[in-house]
Chains A and B, each alone.
Chain A
Amino acid sequence: MNSLNKRLSAEKRFRAYGLFAVALSMFFVLILMWKIFSTGSGAFVRTTIEANVFFNPDFIQVNQNSLEKELYRASYVALADEVVRQNHPKLNEEQFIKVREMYTRKFDYQLRDYLLDNPDKIGQSIIMKITASSDLDQIVKGNYPRDVPEAQRKINDYQLSVLDKLTSEGKVSSVFNFWFFTKGDSRDPESAGIWGAVMGSLYALIICFSFAFPIGLLASVYLEEFVKPGKVTDIIEVNINNLAAVPSIVFGLLGLGMLIGVIGLPYQVPLVGGLVLGFMTLPTIIIASRASLRSVPPSIREGALAVGATKMQTVFHHVIPLSLPGTLTGTIIGMAQALGETAPLLMIGMVAFVMEIPGGPLDPATGLPSQIYLWSESAERGFLEKTSAGIMLLLLFLIIMNTAAVVIRRRLEVKW
């Protein structure tokens, strides 16, 4: 009886340890999530200042009949300064510089983009929400304290007084930050977007998939179905398993040395990034594919062979279709891993400052994780929230991919 009590209390203790372990890990996950969300959510809104904009045809030297090329080249920088002067009359030169700093440096681009979309507004006066500079944005969001000495602030007392005046007039408002999802990188946090990095990662993943999936599938089918097991296959098997455990930076070095150094592919392009990620994903795909080929019951092969199918027909008509869900699941999980890999991208240069959104796998680009890394290195407070928002987006993609893997598995898996 006594010993039974002992055993029962041992079980109770064990359960408590288990519960504690689960609770602890949940706690850390929650802290991580809370930290990322509380920091990153700011990146999805940006502060704007309402301003009266008069597209004076004499000033920008275009008219209703101007070609788009002319509209594109018009002098928007001067117009931006003019808009600031008109909305804040009676400024001396020093005050003007300070007030101009409250607006984004990309003021002119905002004006240009608006006019390109609405050329009929030439000669008219409209009210536009001009994006505020990142420093002002951070003050409005409360990320910069106001009650510290002026020398420690990026926004000085004069600018604060202007801001308060604008706020009391109801001209300061927050809007959803589309720019974050549509623009490439920028030196100015307020106009920096993740889309260039997303496209870079997308091209890299497409290359990665189209390189690694067919090769991985064919290699595993050959190894599993056609080749006679022996010493050579044993050596290959050990090497594939080892490759799966090789640190990703080594694959990056391989890409740098082989693809860029020897073959001469360009630096910092998604083509090379995708191939390197493909090298890295290949062992994962082969291992997953071989496992799922092995899980196809031998009776299916026998059934096909017994009606006179050739080995090849047996494999391609029956075995591969049945193993495909497992192979695809493994591939997607491998690609999700590849999406989050930073080290290989660093080695092949996909970590540069790229403003343009890449239009193809041969355009210079960054990847999502390297963009996050770049932003995390930046000093401006505005990039801190971009970093977290980038992580949120990366996590979202990972969740989507892993969910897709589970769904494919559930949907397509054959029940015996």
Chain B
Amino acid sequence: MVEQVNSFAIKTKNVSVHYGNKMAIDDVTINFTKNDVTSLIGPSGCGKSTFLRCLNRMNDVIESCKVQGEFLLNGVTDIYGDSIQVETLREKIGMVFQKPNPFPKSIFENVAYGPKIHGLASTQSELNDIVMESLNRAGLYEEVKDRMDDIATGLSGGQQQRLCIARAIAIRPEIILMDEPCSALDPIATARIEELINELKEKYTIIIVTHSMSQASRISQRTAFFHLGKLIEHGDTSKIFTKPDKEQTNDYITGRFG
């Protein structure tokens, strides 16, 4: 596989994360290829969510969290460097959380909030277009087009999560981070989101943390297996799930631990 520098959305090198004295991530080096879905799998507490949250600096708000190592966006921009502000970074790297967290405002307001604060729309009709397009891409538009002014928290769990995806893509990010986006949803809503992820990878690089190995194998092209803060193995999903190099990976995916 030939990999060029600019074919990586994010490159990381020797990443370590500490919570106070406790080590959460231990010397992880991993690169994420553009327009791929990469799954981060591993048992609970292995650090995969922590690692994901380092990528758009969501860990900044946690007082005791210390991040070391190199993070490069598109091979050039230092994510933790001075050349980029954290707000601009998050404009480029969107995030969807484990529990759907729409703002308790109208459906329209939820999607329009990001474009508004970043000044992406100069007129109301431009804003309407962005909202409509984002909802469309999140596969939610048809379901909510008649009740854009209804409060978003009145939607079902699956709809809320798709709304959060629409909110994330409304600011036109390059990368979307997803932290177990389906863990609070029922199987049908989960299937809907997985379908959506499949469509979204055409335009975005997606990095997704998941507990479900079947989900990882269904939706991702690349898979990284974390254990006790270390990256054990990283490669094509088909390889990881059929003949992994490491014994630990094999044990985990066959259900012998975790």
A residues engaging B (CB < 8 A)?
A: 228-229, 297, 299-310, 313, 317-318, 322, 414-416
A307 lies within 8 A of B97 (CB): no
* A151 to B201 CA separation, bound complex (whole angstroms): 103
Distance in Å: Cβ of A315 to nearest Cβ of chain B: 12
Which chain B residue shows the least CB distance to A318? B103
**Known contacts A228-B63, A303-B167, A414-B153; A308/B101 CB under 8 A:** no
Which chain B residue shows the least CB distance to A309? B117
A297 partner residues in chain B, CB cutoff 8 A:
101
Which chain B residue shows the least CB distance to A310? B87
Q: Indicate if B5 sits at the interface (CB-CB under 8 A).
A: no
Q: Indicate if B58 sits at the interface (CB-CB under 8 A).
A: yes
Which of B91, B97, B102, B153 lies in contact with A308, CB distance below 8 A?
Answer: B91
Which of B56, B87, B101 lies in contact with A303, CB distance below 8 A?
Answer: B101
B168 lies within 8 A of A307 (CB): yes
A228 partner residues in chain B, CB cutoff 8 A:
63
Q: Indicate if B118 sits at the interface (CB-CB under 8 A).
A: yes
Distance in Å: Cβ of B88 to nearest Cβ of chain A: 7
Q: List 20 A-B contacts (CB under 8 A).
A: A228-B63, A300-B103, A302-B58, A302-B97, A303-B164, A304-B103, A304-B113, A305-B61, A305-B90, A306-B58, A307-B94, A307-B114, A307-B168, A308-B87, A308-B88, A308-B89, A308-B118, A308-B171, A309-B87, A313-B117
* A229 to B104 CA separation, bound complex (whole angstroms): 28
7 closest cross-chain pairs (CB), A and B: A299-B101, A307-B114, A306-B95, A308-B90, A308-B91, A303-B101, A414-B104
A415 lies within 8 A of B153 (CB): yes
A303 lies within 8 A of B153 (CB): no
Q: Indicate if B99 sits at the interface (CB-CB under 8 A).
A: yes
> 18 additional contacts, CB 8 Å, given A300-B104, A414-B153, A416-B153?
A299-B97, A299-B101, A300-B101, A302-B58, A304-B113, A306-B90, A307-B90, A307-B94, A307-B114, A307-B117, A307-B171, A308-B89, A308-B114, A308-B171, A313-B117, A317-B117, A318-B103, A415-B153
B97 lies within 8 A of A303 (CB): yes
A317 lies within 8 A of B113 (CB): yes
Residue interface mask B74-112, A partner, CB < 8 A = 1: 000000000000011111001101010111100000000
B residues engaging A (CB < 8 A)?
A: 56, 58, 61, 63, 87-91, 94-95, 97, 99, 101-104, 113-114, 117-118, 153, 164, 167-168, 170-171
**Known contacts A308-B88, A308-B90; A303/B103 CB under 8 A:** yes
* A306 to B168 CA separation, bound complex (whole angstroms): 8
* A306 to B102 CA separation, bound complex (whole angstroms): 12
* A300 to B61 CA separation, bound complex (whole angstroms): 14
Distance in Å: Cβ of B86 to nearest Cβ of chain A: 8
Distance in Å: Cβ of A319 to nearest Cβ of chain B: 11
**Known contacts A228-B63, A416-B153; A307/B167 CB under 8 A:** yes
B170 partner residues in chain A, CB cutoff 8 A:
307
B63 partner residues in chain A, CB cutoff 8 A:
228-229
* A304 to B101 CA separation, bound complex (whole angstroms): 10
Distance in Å: Cβ of B151 to nearest Cβ of chain A: 8
B88 partner residues in chain A, CB cutoff 8 A:
308
Distance in Å: Cβ of A205 to nearest Cβ of chain B: 31
B164 lies within 8 A of A305 (CB): no
* A359 to B117 CA separation, bound complex (whole angstroms): 46
Distance in Å: Cβ of B41 to nearest Cβ of chain A: 22
